[in-house]
Structure 1
Amino acid sequence: MDQDELTAYNKLNVLIIDDQVLVQNVIKSALVELGIENIKCAENAYYALRLCEQTSFHVVICAFNVKSDKDGFHLLEELKFKRHITKCTILIFLSAETSEHLVNSIVELQPDDFWVKPLNTKHVQSRLPLTLEVKRTLFNVYQAIDRQDYSKAMYFAERHLLNPALAKYHLQMKRLTGECLLNLREFSDAAQYYENLLQTHKVSWVYLGYIKALLQQDKLEDITSLLTELTDKTDTRFATYDMLAHYYIGKQDFAQAYEEIKKATRLAPRNIERNKRLLDLARLNHDHVGQYQAAIAMAKYAKNSIHDSPILRLNVVRAGIDYATTLEKAESIKVLNQADLLLTELEKQIPLSTQLKDQLLVVRARLHTAKEERPKAEAIIDNHISLRPGTSVEDNLDKVKALHELGRREDAVTLLDAIKRQISGNGLTDQVVGKYIEQELAERAAVHFTPQQLNRMAVELFKRGKFHAALNSLEQAFSLTPRNMSVALNILKVLVVMLEKKQLDEGHKTLIEKLLLQLQHETLNAEQQVLFTEYQQKLQPH
């Protein structure tokens, strides 16, 4: 695209993507009156992509609700990935909805403008020329950013800032300059730059740039009050939570990173990479229900997008099995039946001759084991599955779980050792997954059963009066499911009996204090609250 092409309306190529013909007609009519002649309309994402392969568009106007196939967020994400949309393209988002979730998702895509439906001719004709003028004036800056030549982009921006005739564009140029400093990783200079800007421009992007520069320098303590202020504001809370999640992952404080990324994901749920980090952090923090929900969300939001894959649906089954092994039998059966339905659907859709054959078989074996159909699981593992590690860490992890759940712990730990060597990167995802592998290696070596199996063993041991052994089983289960308050209450139940039989030692008393404190801050259902109050009254004096 050349800057000259943005100087005349009759040279512009415009694409309108909206499934409502009336909206298309309103925009098209307004554009024709402006003198724009080359206008294409697409009522679905598939046709929009076809048009972009045939024509280079200067202006893309895209609705959020492209109902026939994929939503506007994932369409624009794909258009950017395929370079049909660049920084030099004028990108305008359309929506009748203005919820915080939608606005946060749109902001992530950085459109040049956001038009709220219903539209009228006057609105289109007043907004588009302004957006076009900005893009044309700052074209050389945007082009340099497209080429990732951030130093050159800053040079052009600084030259424009010296031109009084361009005063009305100075704020956009200052924003682009700050983004370039961050991209160049000049965090000290960026912090000073944003701090100076805050003297005159107390706007959201300046605050967010400032805290990003300081967090990258590990100066969290300098901005604690500012962070509280930003997380209270609708226009800054999402980006602040997201940056804090990145910060805490870098500090290897994975528990706090998980809390922050949960907040960010709730506020902008469509970003698949963020959902993947959420899932990784959920399982690292032993939040099996959170892991299951994140896997479901990923499969849901990725549907028809460039991220869509049978693996995402297979991950829902995997997470479902992980979750089911932490539940009581009745609840476990419900989750396993849902997982079985999805797996059966995948097996029908994907021929066993494909590259997913081994993954499907391993998951099927895990499902048999979880449903107490051990001979079927063993037949699959013995006859169809190689114990050698493959190229995918996730597939290897699932194989480890299949082996461990069948009691083949030595093979599981050997395979885990091999997986650990596969994690070599320094990125955020590698840090989280690497830590999870370390955790799995320690836990699989130390704990030989699933939480569900350990709970059942504890029940039998308790009935036989073997309270120390029952407590040991429950403590192992709780180490794998520290968010499971039913297990915590079962531990207290055993400790109450041991107190009555005068079998408590100092270690038990420390455990009581720890559990009572934790349960005081947890959300319990009515039945759990009754039990907690009863156990608390019996144990607290001791």
Structure 2
Amino acid sequence: MEITEQSELDDFSQLTVLIIDDNRLVHDTLKRGLYDLGINHVKCAESAYYGIRLCETTRFHIIICSFNVNSDKDGFHLLEELKFRGHVNKTTVLIFLSTETNESLVNSIVELQPDDFWVKPLAPKTVQQRLIHTLQTKKQLFNMYRATDTKSFSKVIYFADRHLLNESLHKYHPNILRMKGEAYLSLFEFETAESFFKSLLKTYTYAWVYLGYVKSLLKQGRINEINELIEKLINKPATRFGAHDMLAQYYIEHEQYERAYDEIKKATALSPRNIERNKKSWDLARLNHDHEGQYIATRNIAQQAKNSIHDSPELLLNVIRSGIDLAAAITDERSFKVLQQTDKYIKQLQNDYSDANEFKQQLLVIKARLYIVREQKGKATKLIENHVNFIASPQIEDNLDKVKVFHELGMREEAVKMLDIISNQVLGDSLTSQVINKYIEQESIERAEINFSPKQLNDMAIEHFEKNRLQPALKAIQQALRLTPHNIKLTMRLLKILIVIKESNEFDENHQKFGDEALVVLLSAKVKDAGLEAIEQLKIKWQQA
């Protein structure tokens, strides 16, 4: 896309404006305000799809977009696509419209950093006043926006220093200072950024100043110096989301994956539309053996990505796979319900994407995995041996699914070979690559050491326990908990086995440690009524045994 020139923003009669909103009354109100300013080149779209088509034929200086374009995709994903296609950059004037001002929506808007945010209903006079102010800011700081577009962050700092000396630009100083601080961070000049934001804290109380200061220290690994400040930021709506998001990044960088997962879940809940953050939540859920969280994350991704540039059949395949993982990890009747829902997702995939042959191999592997979970291993073996090729796919998730089915069928050699291929596929030094690499490493170790699913191990533990084979029962349940450490029912079963061992002559110091740890987990678990009573009874039995 051709970049806007600064001079083009001076002549209102030459400005081109695109309004994207599914309400024609909003179109009329905005057009009245724009026409009175002398802006006559205005086009309107009632859907995101038509808005994108207009951008393909016309270069717009100003885009005014509703955050909730209900007919196809919301404003968040529309802007993502416009940026991806090159129709929007920092020199474009971007304004969002919404009737809502809830925390989730505001956080999503903050992420996108539009030039302004107008709350509906609108008045033509307000439209004029706000637009004139926004255009003035864009014109006065145009060289900084352009340098940001070209990632020339040293130029951003150069222009900022010049503008800050110009007293006529005093009212734009907060905008200038923010862009300068962001440039320091983009250049990895974290010590300079720290000093810069620290000096601003004496004058300004904007959320971005506090978050910039915290980020500069986190990037230097100095979290202990700002624990109190972080706690304050987490308790304020304006900074809560940003603080959780930065902490998640910090903990990933420092390989504290449980804490990273806790923070990313909070950030995702506060701004649910960002697909990349949802994917990060999914990766961390897998790494932390949270099968429920993995299932929730893949469903969120599929739902939020609908009609966006991220939408693809692979997202629904991932929901199906995580459903099977969850069903194999659950040791109660919920497993049946998850499998029922998984069957519905398979039908949805086949209905939504007519060319099912494209996913033939993936669906065959999924079918085999479903046979295994439903304890029809013979059918799974037959299907894999006769219909599934052992060739690696370009898609990591396809290969991971093959690893699981090979492992579950006792085809250890094939599983290990496929894991080696996946390890070579996950290259790069990004934080996402770091998390996936760790997950693949963990999978390789666990697949080599544990030959069964949590559900199978639980069944084995019950059988051993009933036949008074206490040590094999304990080993089976410990392996199951290694694969699904948050399973309260498995933890209760572990403690029941240990209570019987404690009453026998097989008890030793390790058993005491295992039991005490299990009790701590159970007492901190969020259970109610009958579950709480059962835990209390186990506690008494453990102490009295």
TM-score of the superposition, structure 2-length normalised? 0.97
Tell me whether 1:261 sits opposite 2:276 in the alignment. no
- Superposed, which structure 2 residues align to 1:87-236 within 5 Å? 87-236=90-239
- Superposed, which structure 2 residues align to 1:380-419 within 5 Å? 380-419=383-422
- Whole-Å separation in 1 of the counterparts to 2:311 and 2:468: 52
Larger mean Cα displacement after TM superposition, 373-382 or 449-458? 373-382
- Superposed, which structure 2 residues align to 1:304-343 within 5 Å? 304-343=307-346
Per-residue deviation, 1:353: 6.9
Partner residue of 2:487 out of 463, 467, 484: 484
One-letter identity of the residue aligned with 2:189: E
- Whole-Å separation in 2 of the counterparts to 1:345 and 1:375: 27
Partner residue of 1:450 out of 437, 449, 453: 453
* SS of structure 1 residue aligned to 2:64: strand
One-letter identity of the residue aligned with 2:61: H
* SS of structure 1 residue aligned to 2:392: coil
Superposition CA RMSD, Å: 1.4
Per-residue deviation, 1:354: 4.6
Other-structure match for 1:53: 56
Q: Does the aligned pair in 2 maintain the 1:45–1:69 contact within 8 Å?
A: yes
Tell me whether 1:7 sits opposite 2:10 in the alignment. yes
- Whole-Å separation in 2 of the counterparts to 1:453 and 1:408: 17
Q: Does the aligned pair in 1 maintain the 2:350–2:356 contact within 8 Å?
A: no
- Whole-Å separation in 1 of the counterparts to 2:123 and 2:260: 45
* SS of structure 2 residue aligned to 1:94: strand
What are the Cα deviations for residues 432-461 of structure 1, in whole angstroms up to 9, with x where unaligned?
101111111111111110000111111111
Per-residue deviation, 1:351: 5.6
Per-residue deviation, 1:355: 4.2
Q: Does the aligned pair in 2 maintain the 1:302–1:308 contact within 8 Å?
A: yes
Tell me whether 1:345 sits opposite 2:351 in the alignment. no
Other-structure match for 2:424: 421
* SS of structure 2 residue aligned to 1:356: helix
* SS of structure 1 residue aligned to 2:486: coil
Partner residue of 1:519 out of 491, 498, 522: 522
Per-residue deviation, 1:239: 0.7
Q: Does the aligned pair in 2 maintain the 1:292–1:323 contact within 8 Å?
A: yes
Tell me whether 1:294 sits opposite 2:265 in the alignment. no
Larger mean Cα displacement after TM superposition, 421-430 or 87-96? 421-430
- Whole-Å separation in 1 of the counterparts to 2:412 and 2:355: 28
Q: Does the aligned pair in 2 maintain the 1:250–1:428 contact within 8 Å?
A: yes
One-letter identity of the residue aligned with 1:165: S
Other-structure match for 1:438: 441
One-letter identity of the residue aligned with 2:284: L
Partner residue of 1:493 out of 491, 496, 499: 496
- Whole-Å separation in 2 of the counterparts to 1:473 and 1:410: 23
Other-structure match for 2:470: 467
Q: Does the aligned pair in 2 maintain the 1:486–1:528 contact within 8 Å?
A: no
One-letter identity of the residue aligned with 2:249: H
One-letter identity of the residue aligned with 1:180: A
- Whole-Å separation in 2 of the counterparts to 1:29 and 1:269: 35
Larger mean Cα displacement after TM superposition, 487-496 or 97-106? 487-496
Per-residue deviation, 1:133: 0.5
- Whole-Å separation in 1 of the counterparts to 2:310 and 2:194: 35
- Whole-Å separation in 1 of the counterparts to 2:144 and 2:136: 14
Q: Does the aligned pair in 1 maintain the 2:291–2:325 contact within 8 Å?
A: yes
One-letter identity of the residue aligned with 2:232: E
* SS of structure 2 residue aligned to 1:270: coil
Tell me whether 1:28 sits opposite 2:26 in the alignment. no
- Whole-Å separation in 2 of the counterparts to 1:115 and 1:24: 14
* SS of structure 2 residue aligned to 1:296: helix
What are the Cα deviations for residues 26-63 of structure 1, in whole angstroms up to 9, with x where unaligned?
11111111111000000000100000001111111111
Q: Cα–Cα, structure 1 residues 93 and 352, in superposed 2: closer, same or farther, change >3 Å?
A: closer
Larger mean Cα displacement after TM superposition, 384-393 or 138-147? 384-393
- Whole-Å separation in 1 of the counterparts to 2:206 and 2:354: 54
One-letter identity of the residue aligned with 1:284: L
- Whole-Å separation in 2 of the counterparts to 1:239 and 1:29: 37
Q: Does the aligned pair in 2 maintain the 1:393–1:422 contact within 8 Å?
A: yes
Tell me whether 1:86 sits opposite 2:89 in the alignment. yes
One-letter identity of the residue aligned with 2:39: I
Tell me whether 1:529 sits opposite 2:523 in the alignment. no
Larger mean Cα displacement after TM superposition, 403-412 or 531-540? 403-412
* SS of structure 2 residue aligned to 1:407: coil
* SS of structure 2 residue aligned to 1:67: coil
Larger mean Cα displacement after TM superposition, 162-171 or 284-293? 162-171
Q: Does the aligned pair in 2 maintain the 1:336–1:371 contact within 8 Å?
A: no
- Whole-Å separation in 1 of the counterparts to 2:102 and 2:473: 51
- Whole-Å separation in 2 of the counterparts to 1:147 and 1:417: 39
- Whole-Å separation in 1 of the counterparts to 2:287 and 2:362: 22
Per-residue deviation, 1:428: 0.6
- Whole-Å separation in 2 of the counterparts to 1:167 and 1:471: 71
One-letter identity of the residue aligned with 1:118: P
One-letter identity of the residue aligned with 2:282: L
Q: Give the paired residue count.
A: 542
* SS of structure 1 residue aligned to 2:244: helix
Larger mean Cα displacement after TM superposition, 9-18 or 464-473? 464-473
Tell me whether 1:64 sits opposite 2:31 in the alignment. no
TM-score of the superposition, structure 1-length normalised? 0.97
Per-residue deviation, 1:412: 1.3
Tell me whether 1:242 sits opposite 2:222 in the alignment. no
- Whole-Å separation in 1 of the counterparts to 2:509 and 2:168: 78
Per-residue deviation, 1:99: 0.4
One-letter identity of the residue aligned with 1:485: I
One-letter identity of the residue aligned with 2:229: L
- Whole-Å separation in 2 of the counterparts to 1:85 and 1:480: 45
What are the Cα deviations for residues 65-104 of structure 1, in whole angstroms up to 9, with x where unaligned?
1111111111011111111110001111100010000000
Q: Does the aligned pair in 2 maintain the 1:340–1:367 contact within 8 Å?
A: no
What are the Cα deviations for residues 289-340 of structure 1, in whole angstroms up to 9, with x where unaligned?
0000000000000000000010001100000000001113521111111111
Larger mean Cα displacement after TM superposition, 322-331 or 264-273? 322-331
